[in-house]
Structure 1
Amino acid sequence: MSQPGGPSRPSFSLSALIRLVRWPWRVVRRDPGQSVDVQPVDPERLNRDKLRVQARVVRDALKGDVAAAGPEDRPAKDDAELVYLYRPGHALAQAERLDDVMAFFERRGEEFDGRPERVDEPGPGLVLLRLPRRRDEGDDVLATLAELDEALGRPEGKDQPPIVSPDHLVYVTPAKGGLCPATEPEVPKTRRPWPPQAPAGEEPKPAERVRVAVVDTGLWADAVGSAMTPWLESDDIFADPADVEHVNPAAIHPYAGHGTFVAGVISCLAPDTRVEVEGLLTHGGAIYESAIIAQLNDALNDDDHPQLISISAGTHTRGGWPLLSFALLAAAHRLAERDDILVVAAAGNDASDQPFWPAAFSWAVGVGSVDPDGTVSDFSNVGEDWVKVYARGRDLVNAFPRGTYICHEPPNAGQVRHFDGLARWSGTSFSTPVVTGLIAARMRATGEDARTAWTKVLGDGTSATDPRGGAITIVGPLT
């Protein structure tokens, strides 16, 4: 499941990023001898500037081949208002409706500079098209898709995908005002992981190991077998050579270590689990929808397929409709019916109640975040009809590359942080592997299939009522 071209790091100018987030600060002075705090004047402006910076990381990593949609599915005039990102000049279509799509362009030929070009079939029942430019509005994919909706019909239910869709970018779960985890990595105050490392118990036979795929940024291989992170054992943690993440210790790049951190959380909760880290989200923490679905389809077609797929990534979508590629993949592989494969996905971190995909699919386990006191984290997305479960996602501690990291997001842009193999991090990115680890541990202990184990884990959870989340269920340790 390696991405064509292998892992890459976004290239960007730190000084340019810092200039981008110049900010009116209010200095708060304490008593003599105490440190000086610098606090932002306007939190809303902070979120907007943060989003601009993070979108720039993705744009640079994909060499500008990115478009942003704002409210009401219109092109965003400013990255600060983006709702989702997509691939310009392209669209995804249901293969069984492709003739209808082509007929639309035949009827409206005078409005377009040519006809759609069939580029690829990245997943079952899915076609990637290169769209012709509009003669009146240029490369406006969203306007073209809106007209196709009118001609071919919109989805009739919230679980129904559209006939045509943008090639969305799926990215590591976005924060409020950003396309990233809820925080940049922080230096931990402890050398112990959180959640704590569970006792290993009797080692299972290789054929009995629970198989987990972590779809993320890749594996920082130095963490495996390290004295700092002994729970990442060489017999348990795997990655293809193309999925190994290369990190410059003098300048750790944005999103580095994300997949390794996630794998570490699973390994702490479910020792002796076979965890394979897939390096798909290597371009600024993002990947085209068409590319990730091709890799997932290959994995699901493997006889030795993963039993659990942990995805700490996703996106909002055009119209709020389900991701077309994932809907077709789920139908082809019967993910709603099977007991031997379960997808666990992050609910996202932009404090929204709008569906975040793929977590919002009925066949997926959508995971939100709570704080150590059991309240829903201020960054976590919520939704009683699609966030299935919550686990602690605030201030987890696990594996992270050694070296120097320079913050690129306000209000900490330019701050230098030094890491020695561990980090403290927050987000639904990290509550997700807590749930994955709990399911894997139960599968190992009981021999239950993935869906049965998930049902039992959920049943053992704690019910609560939260001001934002409503009626929620919390699983796993909190303190």
Structure 2
Amino acid sequence: MIERERPAFPIDFLKDLIRKLRIPGRRDGGSDRFPGPSSENLADDVLRVQVGVIRKAFKAAGLDVAGAPIEGKRRVVDDADVRYLYRPGHILARREDVGRLREFFESEENQKRFRGKLDARETRVPGLVLAVLPSRTDEQDDVLATLVEVEDGGFLERGAATPDHVVYVTPKGYLCPATEPEVPRSRRPWPPPTPYDREITDEKTKIRVTVVDSGLWKDAVGSAESPWLETDDVFAGNEDLEQVIPTKIHEYAGHGTFVAGVISCIAPETRIDVEAALPYGGAVFESDIVDQIQDALEENKPQIISISAGTHTRDNHELLSLVLLAQNNKFDENDDVLIVAAAGNDSSNDPFYPAASAKDYPWVVSVGSVDPDKKVSDFSNFGKDWVSVYARGRNLVNAFPKGTYTCHEPPNKGKVRKFDGLAQWSGTSFSTPIVTGLIAAEMRDNGLTARAAWDVVRQTAITEYDARIGEDIQIVGPLT
């Protein structure tokens, strides 16, 4: 939900350009969704609000988060400068590297610079350790400054230990015009339900998809407003059910339900298990989300894991937790497990994980967003080296809680919207389940493994040159 951009051009240039244009970010220089003049600081204001939602949710649970800058080893002061969020005082490391970390903290010099001892705690992922760091006696950050010193001192290679990043859903992001949920103009879903005249009665033969998201709003399942969410296909444990107050729908409510609905429309007769893995304003610590995925792998044995969430990372290193999760579950050797992940909504080509792992591993598919005109959505991340494919992510319509929602982001802050079981939403969060559904349908119809089905779906892609990003892109799925 929340995350700035370097390789294409500097982030400050992009921010200044948006301000000079005085628009929320549309290519055509205006927006029918945002009437009237917009704030010169709209991009900054939106990011502050989004980070604020996460901070508030973590704080309510007795937890804290910190913001890291694009460069440097000090926490940001202004949330408009956040590159990624992380857990203060904690890092992730391999079990075999804990000894080297202890050597660093137990050296004579560092015993004077730190208070306490390193506390290394095992996670649900074998070999992955969550380490509570000794506190520093200077004013430097316990995580950012300490990791620099550990690496510069030669105790660990760069990226061998990482912050415990905050992973967040991505319906809207920095420099992103994708809206908060809107009241749809039509009572029909988009993408429309795909006709399928065969009922699969044997649950063991259904394709299994796990949606790692905000949980399931159960009232949508089997309802008159969203009948494509069938009671025989969409599931969530009691702990994964999303509680919604109808008179005050909370931020990012219904996100997981909406994603499940898109998959159901594209691939009927697919078993979808929705996990409430992002409980804090649509966010969670990296160490916790891999625990949830590990549980899902053991309990539901999914063939596709759909993740409309992610984060930028320290120095663009891959998520250590996901690498170890994959190693322990032998993803490289298993053609029937695939992660489909959102590329993020920063209008940037800076890697966004776990989606960016697609550049290194065959078990990850990274999904960007295009508009109906086949152009990359102005909110979508991009990059031919790590975005695998694009699907429509603009103005999708699907299941959403009934009730009233008060907008919390500028320029619509304070506006009240009333929903009756459907919403319109935009972002790579929603292009992702289109690709998930396409893969699941191919598996269902032709008895293929997840990776083989992905190869077939990829072969259906059309190639378009996008002048804005200067790249050829591959597009799959319906557009209009």
**TM-score relative to the length of structure 1:** 0.88
Q: Which residue of 2 aligns with 1:185?
A: 181
The corresponding residue for 1:68 is: 67
Counterpart for residue 117 of structure 1: 119
Q: Separation in 2 of the partners of 1:83 and 1:174?
A: 17
Once the two structures are overlaid, the 10-residue window that deviates more, 93-102 or 401-410, is 93-102
Q: Are 1:264 and 2:267 counterparts?
A: no
Of residues 80-89 and 334-343 in structure 1, the stretch that sits farther from structure 2 once superposed is: 334-343
AA aligned to 2:209 is V
- Correspondence 1:145-224 to 2 at 5 A: 145-150=147-152, 151-155=154-158, 162-173=159-170, 175-177=172-174, 182-204=178-200, 205-224=202-221
CA distance in structure 1 between the aligned counterparts of 2:145 and 2:112, rounded to whole angstroms:
16
Question: In structure 1, how many angstroms separate the alpha carbons of the residues matched to 2:163 and 2:171?
Answer: 19
- Could you tell me which runs of 5 or more consecutive residues in structure 1 were left unpaired when the two chains were aligned: 1-22, 27-35, 156-161
Alignment-derived partner of residue 51 in structure 1: 47
Alignment partners' CA distance in 1, 2:242 and 2:189: 21
Q: Deviations over 1:273-317 (max 9, x none)?
A: 000000111110000001111111222234x50000000000000
Give the 3-state SS of the residue equivalent to 1:39 in structure 2.
coil
Point out the more displaced range, 416-425 or 121-130: 121-130
Q: State the SS of the aligned residue for 1:412.
A: coil
Aligned-pair distance for 1:38? 2.7
Partner Cα separation in structure 1 for residue 72 and residue 278 of structure 2? 24
Q: Cα offset for 1:185?
A: 0.2
Deviations 1:304-359 (A, max 9, x none): 50000000000000011001101111122222331110000000001110110000
Query: Pick from 136, 140, 143: which aligns with 2:145?
Result: 143
| Residue aligning to 1:282 | 279
* Matching residue's letter, 2:38: P
State the one-letter code of the partner of 1:266. I
CA spacing shift, 1:140–1:146, aligned 2, 3 Å: same
Provide the aligned length of Structure 1 versus Structure 2.
439
Q: Is the 8 A contact 2:172 2:426 kept in 1?
A: no
Whether contact under 8 Å (2:97, 2:156) holds in the other structure is no
Cα offsets for 1:356-412 (capped at 9, x unmatched): 000011331000000000000000000101000000000000000000000000000
Question: How is 1:294-309 mapped onto 2 (pairs within 5 angstroms)?
Answer: 294-302=291-299, 304-309=300-305
C-alpha distance 174-321 of structure 1, shift in aligned 2 (>3 A): farther
Secondary structure of 1:261 counterpart: helix
User: Alpha-carbon deviation of 1:73?
Assistant: 4.3
In the other structure, the counterpart of 1:245 is 242
Tell me how far apart the structure 2 counterparts of residues 183 and 172 of structure 1 sit (CA, whole Å).
Answer: 14
Cα deviation, residue 469, structure 1: 5.9
The separation in 2 between residues aligned to 1:182 and 1:217, in whole angstroms, is 19
Cα distance in 1 for residues equivalent to 2:380 and 2:470: 9
Identity %: 58
1:139 Cα shift?
4.6
SS of match in other structure, 2:263: helix
Q: Distance in 1 between matches of 2:308 and 2:101?
A: 33
SS at structure 2 position matched to 1:175: coil
Residue in 2 that maps onto 1:419: 419
Question: Which residue does 2:78 correspond to in 1?
Answer: 78
Q: Cα–Cα, structure 1 residues 400 and 174, in superposed 2: closer, same or farther, change >3 Å?
A: closer
**Does the Cα contact within 8 Å between 1:174 and 1:182 map onto a contact in 2?**
yes
The SS at the match of 1:38 is coil
Deviations 1:202-236 (A, max 9, x none): 11221110000000000000000101101000000
Structure 2 gap ranges (5+): 1-18, 23-33
Does the aligned pair in 2 maintain the 1:47–1:176 contact within 8 Å? no
Distance 1:403 1:238, change over 3 A: same
| Partner secondary structure for residue 115 of structure 1 | coil
Distance in 2 between residues matched to 1:184 and 1:261, nearest whole Å: 13
Contact kept, 8 Å, 1:368 with 1:382, in 2: the verdict is yes
> 1:332 maps to which residue?
328
Q: How much does 1:419 deviate?
A: 0.4
Asked if the contact 2:305/2:339 (under 8 Å) is kept, the reply is: yes
Q: Confirm or deny: 8 A CA contact 1:148 1:164 kept in the other structure.
A: no
SS, match of residue 310 in structure 1: strand
* Deviation sequence 1:255-278 (CA, Å, 0-9, x none): 000000000000000001000000
**How has the CA–CA distance of structure 1 residues 37 and 462 changed in structure 2, closer, same or farther, with 3 Å as cutoff?**
closer
| 1:41 Cα deviation after fit | 4.2
Residues of 2 paired with 1:152 and 1:474: CA distance?
Answer: 45
* Structure 1 residue 320 corresponds to structure 2 residue 316: yes
What corresponds to 1:159 in structure 2? none
Contact (CA 8 Å) 1:73, 1:318: kept in 2 or not? no
Q: Partners in 2 of 1:256 and 1:367 — Cα distance?
A: 22
> 1:445, 1:244 → 2: CA distance?
30
Q: Which runs of 4+ in 1 moved over 4 A?
A: none
**2:270 matched to which residue of 1?**
273
Amino acid corresponding to residue 170 of structure 2 in structure 1:
T
Cα deviation, residue 133, structure 1: 0.9
1:129 deviation in Å? 1.0
- SS of alignment partner, residue 89 of structure 1: strand
Kept after mapping to 1: 8 A contact 2:304/2:337: yes
Amino acid at match of 1:423: A
Question: Aligned AA for 2:479?
Answer: L
Taking a change above 3 Å as real, the CA distance of residues 320 and 409 of structure 1, as seen in their structure-2 partners, is same
Instruction: Give, in whole Å, the separation in 2 of the partners of 1:375 and 1:350.
Output: 16
Residue matched to 1:230: 227
Match of 1:152, SS state, is coil
Matches for 1:418-437 after TM superposition, within 5 Å: 418-437=418-437
SS at match of 1:167: strand
Q: CA deviation at 1:118?
A: 2.0
What is the root-mean-square deviation of aligned Cα atoms in Å? Answer: 2.0
Matched, 1:471 2:472: yes
